[in-house]
Structure 1
Amino acid sequence: MAISGIPGLGSGMDVGGMVQALVNAEAAPKTAQLDNLEKATTSKVSALGQFRSALSTFQTALGKLNDASLFEKRSATSSAADTVSITADSKAIAGNYNVQVFNLAQTSKVALAGFENASDAIGSGTLTINIGDESLDIDVTDASLTDIRDAINAAGKDQGLSATIVNDPSGKGGARLVLSSDKSGTGNDISVAVSADATGDLGRLTFQPTSGADEDFQPTPVDADNPRAARVISYSRDANLAIDGINLSSASNTVEDAIEGVTLTLKAAQTEDALTNAETINLRVAEDKAGVRTSITEFVDAYNKMLESINSLTSVVSVGGDDGEPLAAALVGDSSVRSFMSAMRSELGSVAGGDGIRILADIGITTQRDGTLGVDNTKLNKALDNNFEQVNGFFTGDQGLTARLESKVKPYTESGGILENRTTALQNTLSSVDDQRETLATRLTKLESRLFAQFNAMDMLISQMSSTGNFLTAQLDSLPGVVKKDT
């Protein structure tokens, strides 16, 4: 096969160069066509991906605003959150409440009789520990306070009972077993009974506290004459409070049933002065208008961001002044985009049935000159303050604005939807371009081989003709009577 730049043996022509030029001339139109098709198709695939992403982001904002629970949320505030905090669910009715906290709920804690050393064995038997109506039996044999403590902690963890040992550095109080319960409320005091068959000094751990109410729920003072005597560190007690002047009690500092849908957490009792002066803590429950306002603003922002993305994908930009050819984005004139935006504008401008809030403009949302949505916060706040339920009905539900908009977006973004099918078709086109390139390459290879064969045959023929001509010239020159011209 001849190589470009090396002349043919017979003709002296650049056979390789001529073949290459002819092959290039044959390939150029189809290659340009495939290059243009590939570039345009790739641009559209990318643009449709961006379009779908913008729609999905907008769809997320629609779903958030169409959540009925958004409008059921309640905001709850306390004028003294360090004394009583408040939370409210959707069942709570908006209103104001005045609360007084007289005392917090308490759990029981007792210190049993003291012993000289925690490690000394004090006896065998059964300890029955009562916490209100619940009881726990602890069997011990030749046990020390340390052994008893460990047995109580192992058996009592599921009942909220724990034990520790406290040592008096002065030696007067000795080593004492301290029992604590996590069960608050009046009547849940800890008491300890020891079986009749107990041996040693185990019986000294018997303890029956007096009524907390009789002691005004004050801890038992240390007995100066017997510092190792058992005593109450804290009585179990109900929390006592008043809501709008109505006295209430609660076994827990978490009060859930006093006001429907409202949970109060008592953190501290009011001071004596505050209670004497009848000072109250104000609690307020209201619709969570701030959360709704935020979601509406996010809906507007998401629409505007989607519109910005669509505008960039359908824009035509002038290049090089009046004489320059404009640069068109990948989705200029795209039917899917036109149909989608037409549906969006139709729904945004449609009038809802019923009274009150019927169009977006009624809550301060209007279309600007550039097609984006703008928010009049004053008008939006007024609508939320005066027509909260109507705003709810306008946006949410099967016939609400967000559901109608969602029905227009979904066919484009769903699996197997408009945009996915179009993308698949474009990807098939790209695969077809690859196939056509392979077909073209095969055809050009065959063309090149054929041209080389033809040009080489021609070169050989010329070579043969040249040889024949030279032979005839030599024969003629050798004939008698032939006169050569002087050169």
Structure 2
Amino acid sequence: MIMTGIGSGIDYESMISAIIAAERAPKDSQLNRQEAANKNEIEALKEIQNTINSFRDTVEDLGSKRELEKLKAILSNEDFLSVAVDANAVAGEYAFDVKRLATAQRDQLFKASADATFTQGVIKFGDAGKEITVDIADLQTKLVAAQDTKTQELTDSQLDAVAKKHGYDLTVPAEKAEAEKALTDPTHEHYDKDRHDSYQSRLDAIATEKMRLQTDGVKLDEIQKAINTDPNNDSVKATLVRSGDGVGIVLNASDTGIDNKIGPVSVTGLTANNNTVDLTKPENGQRNLQAAQDAEVMFGSMTLTSASNKMENAIDGMTLNLKAVGAVNVKVEADLSGVKDTVKSFVDEYNKIIETVNTYTKSSEDGAAALSGNASVRSMVSRLRGVISDEYGASTFSTLSQLGITTNRKGVLEIDNKKLDKAIEDDFEQVANLFVGTDTQPGMMDKMLVVLDDYHKNGGIYDQRTDQLEYNNKTLKKDREQLDERMKAKTITLRDYYARMDSKIANMNQTQSMLIGMLS
């Protein structure tokens, strides 16, 4: 009910709205401030959490000595092979002589003219017990039968479409007959010429294909497909190779090496139509184009062999990718630039944490930052800085500053590149020890991980605080709902109060009017 003030002429509704607004304003303001503060703190904590997660990944990598013991391979000639090395490799010089590359068996079945078709012939390949056979006469029969299947499938699909459109039940013979007439009989009430013409055109195409198969035989690409789709063939692929006056069907082993060879290959009883290539010539018949062989590399007087041209761990920590026959010298040495990049990544990720913390903790003229005065953030930064500035007995470089890495006035790390380069070049092992530690003494990354685990992992300090803030906002939402209910009740009470007042004023006005009328 809206208070209109009919008896008094007073706008009670405006008065009620003003009273309610004045009463709820302080609580509204308090709830808004707290919700905004909680939201801002959640966003800030998540942002810091993201930088911590990224930093921890870097610290974890750096805590593995392999990251600081990166090696690289320098080759005298990159034409013959490439080399990938990992931390298991041993620095030194190596001489390799690639004697031969691994190859896959490749055989031509036969070569014919592009338009040739075939009605007879048997193709066999593979070792005994695993032999694949393609009988062209059988293939021809299957493909002809497939055209009959296509015809039936096309008719069924067309009848189904007619039945759905006009409500025929194809399981009832009489209604199926009606559907067939609707599809093909021009006199039928549901006949559609465009539909019938499309259907007939597709039937004619299938019939033409069937006639071609029955009269001329199968084409080269149909033989190719039969080989490639044979359910027992999982290691040989047929390709069509066009050259000169014809097209050859070529078998290719899927993998290189002697163990992956195709095995014996034979083609017998081939009968061709529309062929202009002389199948009796050796170059047009079945012949081996490439034998299967393993790769062979001389390492001194030792012979290294592999079924593929990628020799993995033939020598610990080294993978050879063979390219061509030839000799090459390989020098394996420390990748100093890679180590510096790893250290620089550590510095960059640490600085992101500090810069993000600074963004959310330093107040400005606009007001306090979201994490201004936050004890957990201050504690985290203090602990991180403690790890950074600590001294470590695992290395002769006991502090980061001895590597040229120092903290500036803003709390972020800076790198003296000349000093870092010299430290890495002069004593690479001790640089690694500072970060990674030794068997008896921890390195910087060990202590850093202890700190980060309190903040990084699920259920850590920031996760707990974020959960608490989200719970607080749910409570604030309930407080707001309760405030709404109280204000609704207050509004009803005020309207009732002013309604009674308005009624009394109306009565008084009525009495006044009556008295005035009696006196006049």
- What is the TM-score when the length of structure 2 is the normalising length? 0.62
Q: Could you say if the C-alpha distance between residues 32 and 235 of structure 1 is closer, same or farther in structure 2, counting changes exceeding 3 Å?
A: closer
Q: Residues 84-163 of structure 1 correspond to what in structure 2 (within 5 A)?
A: 84-101=81-98
Contact kept? 2:392, 2:399, Cα under 8 Å: yes
Further displaced range: 388-397 or 34-43:
388-397
Cα offset for 1:340? 0.9
More helix as a share of residues = 2
Q: 1:438 to 1:142 in 2, by over 3 A?
A: closer
1-structure distance, mates of 2:409, 2:515:
92
Match of 1:400 in 2: 443
Q: Which residue of 2 aligns with 1:213?
A: none
Aligned to 2:63: 66
After TM superposition, give the deviation of residue 332 of structure 1 in Å.
0.8
CA distance in structure 2 between the aligned counterparts of 1:231 and 1:14, rounded to whole angstroms: 107
Alignment of 1:386-397 (within 5 A): 386-396=426-436
Return closer, same or farther for 1:473/1:419 CA change in 2, 3 Å cut-off.
Answer: same
Q: Which runs of 5+ in 1 are unaligned?
A: 194-199, 202-225, 271-279, 319-325, 479-487
Matched, 1:316 2:363: yes
Count of aligned pairs between the two proteins? 418
Q: Give the deviation of 1:338 after TM superposition.
A: 0.8
Partner residue of 2:73 out of 62, 76, 95: 76
CA separation in 2, counterparts of 1:454 and 1:136? Answer: 100
The 5-angstrom pairing of residues 255-334 of structure 1 reads: 259-270=315-326, 281-318=328-365, 326-334=366-374
| Aligned position for 2:277 | none
Give the alignment partner of residue 349 of structure 1, picking from 389, 399, 413: 389
Q: TM-score, normalised by structure 1?
A: 0.66
| CA positional deviation for 1:161 | 11
Deviation at 1:189, TM superposition (A): 13
| % same residue | 31
Which blocks of at least 5 consecutive residues in structure 2 are unaligned?
112-116, 138-219, 270-281
Partners of 1:227 and 1:24 lie apart in 2 by: 100
Cα deviation for residue 242 of structure 1 reads: 5.0
Residues 71 and 287 in structure 1, CA contact (< 8 A), matched pair in contact too:
no
Corresponding position of 2:375? 335
| Matching residue of 1:458 | 501
Given the alignment of the two structures, is residue 39 of structure 1 paired with residue 50 of structure 2, yes or no? no
CA distance in 1, matches of 2:515, 2:251: 135
Deviates more, 1:157-166 or 1:308-317: 157-166
Contact kept in structure 2, 1:110 and 1:190, CA below 8 Å: no
Q: Which residue of 2 aligns with 1:369?
A: 409
2:49 is aligned with 1:52: yes
Question: Please, what is the CA RMSD of the aligned residues?
Answer: 5.2
Q: Deviation string for 1:134-178 (max 9, x for gaps)?
A: 9988999999xx9xx9999989977889999999989xxxx9999
Alpha carbons of structure 1 residues 423 and 129: separation in structure 2 relative to 1, 3 Å: closer
Provide closer, same or farther for how the CA distance between residues 17 and 7 of structure 1 changes in structure 2, counting only shifts above 3 A: farther
Q: Distance in 2 between matches of 1:316 and 1:443?
A: 37
The reply to whether residue 428 of structure 1 matches residue 471 of structure 2 is yes
Contact map agreement 1:138 1:151 (CA 8 A) in 2: no
The answer for the alignment partner of 1:417 in structure 2 is 460
Q: Take 1:13 and 1:189, find their aligned partners in 2: how far apart are those partners? A: 104
Q: Which has the higher contact order (CA 8 A, sep 6+)?
A: 2
Determine the C-alpha separation between the residues in 1 that align with 2:131 and 2:23.
101
Residue 206 of structure 1: aligned partner = none
Describe the superposition over 1:165-216 as per-residue Cα deviations: whole angstroms up to 9, x where unpaired. 999989xxxx99999887758xx999999xxxxxx99xxxxxxxxxxxxxxx
